[in-house]
Structure 1
């Protein structure tokens, strides 16, 4: 069972009226001694209880994911 997330930032989702991107951290998300994660949620509408999409990025992969996102931004 996933532990409680600590919200870092909520960003308005472009091209939606009330959508959002949430960035949160979760320590021991999958039980004792599991590695922390960053949880990204995509909400098409914040009236929903759960995000439409959710991605969990292990802390060990975070730097590589950030670098890949920077490369993707340059390519656009």
Structure 2
């Protein structure tokens, strides 16, 4: 489950809660009732990861260029 991510990913928080709630129903969990929510959550987390990776790359490039200028 994604419970540890609830505080970190405010954007995906509702999807995490919806998946947890869906998983309380054994029938929905085992017969695909939660699949769409899980897919939506995975896409949300993926989007967050891609944005974070892009930001980190931009920050690293800035730091590298800044270091080169100082030398």
Q: Same fold (TM over 0.5)?
A: no
> Comparing both structures, which one devotes a greater share of its residues to strand?
1
- Find the structure with the greater CA-based Rg: 2
Relative to its length, the structure with more helix (as a share) is 2
Q: Quickly name the TM-score band, shorter chain normalised.
A: 0.3 to 0.5
* TM-score (structure 2 length as normaliser): 0.32
TM-score norm. by structure 1 comes to 0.31
